[in-house]
């Protein structure tokens, strides 16, 4: 009987874990792809440097054989014994002091005509010969034509390898996850059987001991709850049966006395209060007895006027408003519905009585619709918290509504208590 709170939809472990794994896989794939690109660029650069070192080592080997060998002087590859011998247009691009032994340095330059070139230089030393500088100029267009297929092939091979590894990893993790969730799935299926057959002992021997402990604990709790519910049901049933005879005797005696006492008699108000109390007890006893029944027999329906029903209940319960600055406002619209008359009267009697009892000022509004009714009244929420102050009446209403699949909602907001009863929301 509390106000409905919107909750975030629950997700299964499998769905949540699957989404998380996919997110992690995407992040890892992008990260690996970035590393692959960096690695391929490094490999291409290393390949170019290795090619330059091979050319230089070839010349150095020739020098070791013949110190007087003529050094190559080509645009693509040249060798010089001193820094000053290097052409000025190449020399000015590099800093001599930053050159390291057998470590190629490459610079891209653009001529005034817009031609792009790659210029490289390599410094080495030859025993009994001295230092030697290797330089070269390569047309950027030609170099790109050579390097692009190399880069593309390396990238494609790396990408295929990553895709294969991630696919294998995905299937392995999916298999492990599926195997790990099989016991939980079995536990959910077992709990569903327990829900459908709460009075039967349904045991399931799981392969995981922890799940067996959970199942045993759940079964123990269910048995305790079933035993408690059965004791309460029997108590209500027996108590209601035992109360029916004395209540009927009291009611008959009060009716007899009422016939003998005139309205003008000083004892008539006390008799009227006793009759009302007796009638309320009879209604309560009937309600408890009906709730204790396990029969699935449908409650008979009849055509009734909702407004007339509310009007009769308001008139009967109006004594609760005596001495209070409270008025009632009943909707003028009327609807004739085919409904369980007895149960509707029990529900409306409890709700309206609660509204009258706990209203301290203002108006008790009763709005009628074809498929539901809304009752609201002003309450003092400072006296007691939550819905404790509304007693047994609303608890009975909620249980009755639950048993016959009606929608019942009770909420307090801004010191206004609102009850909604909808008899057309059956599933």
Q: What is the CATH number of the domain that holds 316?
A: 3.30.565.10
pLDDT score, position 205: 66
Residue 86 belongs to some domain of the structure = no
Poorest-confidence range of 14-18, 106-110, 198-202, 344-348? 198-202
Per residue in 274-329, pLDDT tens?
887 777 777 667 766 677 665 555 677 889 899 998 998 888 888 888 888 999 99
Question: Is 245 part of any domain?
Answer: yes
Final residue belonging to a domain, choices 297, 327, 343: 297
Do residues 398 and 366 share a domain? yes
Crossing angle of helices 209-260 and 268-292, in 10° steps, is 150
- 218: in domain: yes
Helix axis angle for 341-358 and 391-403, nearest 10°, is 150
pLDDT band at 99 (very low <50, low <70, confident <90, very high): confident
Question: Given this model, what pLDDT does residue 343 score?
Answer: 82
Residue 180 in 3-state DSSP? helix
- Of 205 and 116, the structure prediction assigns the larger pLDDT to 116
Domain stops at, among 297, 327, 349: 297
CA distance 39 to 35: 6
Whether the CB-CB separation of 178 and 18 falls below 8 Å is answered with no
Which H helix or E strand runs over 125?
Answer: strand 116-126
Q: Is 234 helix (H, G, I), strand (E, B) or coil?
A: helix
Q: DSSP assignment, residue 10? A: P
Look at the chain and count its residues: 427
* pLDDT range class, residue 6, cuts 50, 70, 90: very low
Which pTM was predicted?
0.45
Q: Residue 90 falls within a domain, yes or no?
A: no
Same-domain pairing of 289 and 205: yes
Higher pLDDT, 54 or 208: 54
Q: What is the mean pLDDT of residues 250-260?
A: 80
Q: Name the least confident of 14-28, 110-124, 160-174.
A: 14-28
> Which H or E run contains 305?
strand 302-305
Per mean pLDDT, which range of 56-70, 122-136, 184-198 is the poorest? 184-198
Window from 28-32, 45-49, 76-80, 161-165 with minimum mean pLDDT: 45-49
* 212 vs 19: CA distance, rounded Å: 29
What's residue 1's pLDDT? 40
In tens, the pLDDT along 114-165 reads: 778 888 888 888 887 888 898 888 877 776 666 677 677 777 877 788 788 8
Q: Do 274 and 221 fall within a single domain? A: yes
List the one residue out of 209, 75, 217, 69 whose CA is nearest residue 138: 75
Each residue of 36-46: pLDDT tens digit? 777 767 766 77
Query: Which of 111-115, 271-275, 347-351 comes out lowest in average pLDDT?
Result: 111-115
Closest residue by Cα to residue 397 from 385, 386, 410? 410
283 and 317 share a domain?
no
Per the domain annotation, does 119 fall within a domain?
no
Tell me, yes or no, whether 319 and 280 share the same domain: no
Residue 424 within a domain: yes
Q: Which residue has the higher pLDDT, 90 or 191?
A: 90
Check residue 73 and report its DSSP letter: B
The Cα–Cα gap between 365 and 378 comes to 10
What pLDDT shows up at residue 7? Answer: 47
Q: Report pLDDT digits (tens) over 394-420.
A: 777 888 888 888 899 998 888 889 999
397 and 312 in a common domain: yes
| 236 in the same domain as 325 | no
pLDDT score at 192:
77
Is the pLDDT at 4 greater than 50, yes or no?
no
| 291 and 304 part of one domain | no
Q: Which residue has the higher pLDDT, 112 or 378?
A: 378
For residue 396, being part of any structural domain is answered with yes
* pLDDT: which is higher, 374 or 108: 374
The reply to whether 218 and 269 lie within a common domain is yes
Same domain, 270 and 384: no
- Judge if 318 and 414 occupy the same domain: yes
Helices and strands per DSSP (H, E), number in the chain: 8, 11
Q: Is residue 346 part of a domain?
A: yes
Q: Quote the domain boundaries for residue 210.
A: 197-297
Of the residues 264, 297, 330, which one is the last residue of a structural domain? 297
Position 2 scores a pLDDT of: 40
For residue 3, is pLDDT > 50? no
Structural domains of the chain, count: 2
């Amino acid at each position: 009987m509390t106000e409905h709170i919107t909750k975030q939809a629950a997700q299964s472990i499998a769905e949540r874990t699957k989404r998380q794994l996919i997110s992690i896989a995407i992040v890892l794939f992008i990260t690996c792809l970035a590393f692959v690109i960096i690695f391929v660029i490094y490999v291409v650069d290393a390949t170019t440097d290795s090619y330059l070192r091979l050319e230089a080592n070839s010349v150095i080997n020739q020098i070791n054989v013949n110190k007087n060998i003529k050094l190559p002087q080509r645009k693509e590859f040249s060798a010089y014994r001193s820094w000053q011998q290097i052409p000025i247009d190449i020399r000015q691009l590099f800093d001599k002091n930053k050159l390291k032994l057998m470590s190629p340095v490459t610079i891209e330059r653009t001529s005034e005509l817009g031609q792009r070139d790659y210029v490289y230089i390599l410094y080495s030393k030859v025993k009994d010969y001295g230092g030697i500088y290797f330089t070269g100029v390569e047309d950027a267009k030609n170099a790109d034509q050579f390097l692009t297929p190399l880069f593309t092939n390396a990238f494609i091979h790396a990408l295929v390898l990553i895709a294969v590894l991630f696919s294998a990893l995905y299937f392995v993790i999916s298999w492990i996850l599926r195997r790990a969730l099989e016991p939980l799935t079995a536990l959910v299926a077992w709990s569903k059987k327990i829900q459908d057959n709460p009075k039967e002992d349904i045991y399931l021997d799981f392969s995981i001991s922890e799940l067996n402990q959970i199942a045993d604990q759940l079964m123990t709790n269910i048995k305790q709850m079933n035993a408690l519910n059965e004791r309460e049901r029997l108590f209500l049933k027996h108590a209601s049966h035992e109360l029916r005879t004395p209540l009927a005797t009291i009611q008959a005696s009060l009716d007899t006395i009422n016939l003998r006492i005139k309205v003008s008699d000083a004892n008539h108000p006390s008799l009227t209060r006793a009759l009302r109390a007796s009638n309320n007890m009879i209604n309560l006893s009937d309600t408890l007895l009906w709730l204790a029944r396990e029969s699935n027999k449908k409650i008979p329906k009849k055509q009734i006027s909702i407004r007339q029903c509310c009007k009769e209940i308001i008139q009967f319960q109006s004594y609760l408003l005596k001495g209070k600055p409270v008025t009632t406002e009943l909707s003028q619209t009327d609807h004739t519905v085919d409904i369980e008359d007895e149960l509707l009267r029990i529900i409306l009697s409890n709700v309206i009585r609660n509204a009258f009892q706990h209203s301290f000022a203002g108006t008790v509004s009763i709005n009628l619709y074809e498929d539901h009714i809304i009752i609201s009244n002003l309450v003092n929420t400072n006296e007691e918290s939550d819905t404790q102050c509304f007693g047994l009446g609303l608890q009975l209403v909620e249980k009755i509504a639950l048993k016959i699949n009606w929608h019942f909602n009770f909420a307090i907001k801004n010191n206004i208590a609102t009850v909604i009863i909808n008899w057309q929301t059956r599933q």
